[in-house]
Amino acid sequence: MTDGTSQAAVRVRGLRRLFGDRAVLDGLRLEIARGEFVALLGASGSGKTTLLRILAALDGADGGEVLVPQARTVVFQEPRLVPSKKVLANVTVALPRNRSEHGLRALAEVGLERHADAWPATLSGGEAQRVALARALVREPELLLLDEPFAALDALTRLRMQDLVGELCRKHRPAVLLVTHDVDEAVRLADRVAVLRDGRLITDDPVTVDRPRDPGDPAFAALRRRLLDDLGVETTPQPATAHERTEAGVI
């Protein structure tokens, strides 16, 4: 299941996963290059988290080829911190004791170096999720798997966490798979966006919107509408912006 020689960090071919008579993943193909950020969209029950769990070796496949790096970590929707351990100990849990300095550096990267001796119960939701991110990054993963890590956060904290994750992933350059229901989040963060439906990827396209990505950018809005259409979500056509009307020669 692992591969240390491929130029791709993730290579999936013909992946099948059955639950009873239902094929949740049916001949799925996916590649993620080293340093590439891929966002995966899909309706509830489409198999997004099943794919992530297979890549994390938390679930098995019923067929196909799955090649991933040995060094991989997961950040879940819930921080999953150990209540009986302080923040630094949570970051370095199961690591050798000489990695405490690495843990402090990871906490500094997420802005929580002053919370090293705090207990998880004293943290806000956003702070706890930043600890979970530090715990994932301190292990220097070649593959970082994000399972809706911002879904439980308020809107403002979610935007800040998106910025932080984007910044740290560009710095550390792991391959990243983000599972999300949030189309704007996918477009804002990813190098590529894929849509999973009926067990296969029906969309797998690069995001060409210039960074920093503004939801008001016509290119951002056009990609959002196309992805929502691929997800089967009807959208109300928006009036053309002044820029679009000018480009069309209307004004």
pLDDT digits (tens, 9 = 90+) for 121-137: 999 999 999 999 999 99
Contact, 211 vs 177, CB < 8 A?
A: no
| Weakest-pLDDT range from 44-53, 70-79, 90-99, 198-207 | 90-99
Going by pLDDT thresholds of 50, 70 and 90, the confidence category of residue 120 is very high
pLDDT tens profile 18-44: 999 999 999 999 999 999 999 999 999
The DSSP bridge pattern shows strands 8-19 and 63-67 to be antiparallel
Whether the per-residue pLDDT at 210 is higher than 50: the answer is yes
99, two tokens: 């990695």
Whether the per-residue pLDDT at 99 is higher than 90: the answer is no
Whether the per-residue pLDDT at 2 is higher than 60: the answer is no
Q: Which of 121, 119, 127 is nearest to 164 (CA)?
A: 127
SS3 label, residue 123 = coil
Whether the per-residue pLDDT at 146 is higher than 70: the answer is yes
Residues in the chain: 251
Mean pLDDT for the chain overall? 92
What is the C-alpha to C-alpha distance for residues 113 and 83, in angstroms, rounded to an integer?
18
Going by pLDDT thresholds of 50, 70 and 90, the confidence category of residue 237 is low
| Weakest-pLDDT range from 60-64, 115-119, 237-241 | 237-241
Whether the per-residue pLDDT at 201 is higher than 80: the answer is yes
pLDDT of residue 242: 53
When comparing pLDDT for 237 and 185, which is higher? 185
Contacts of 10 by beta carbon, 8 Å cutoff, 6+ apart? 30, 31, 32, 55, 67, 68, 143, 175, 177
pLDDT of residue 5: 42
pLDDT of residue 78: 95
pLDDT of residue 97: 84
Whether the per-residue pLDDT at 250 is higher than 50: the answer is no
Average the pLDDT over 101-120 and give the result: 97
Contact, 63 vs 24, CB < 8 A?
A: no
| Residue 213 DSSP one-character state | P
| Weakest-pLDDT range from 108-117, 153-162, 186-195, 238-247 | 238-247
- 175 CA to centre of own chain: 10
% of the chain residues with pLDDT over 70: 91
Q: How many helices (H) and strands (E) does the chain have?
A: 8, 9
Q: Which of 235, 236, 232 is nearest to 45 (CA)?
A: 232
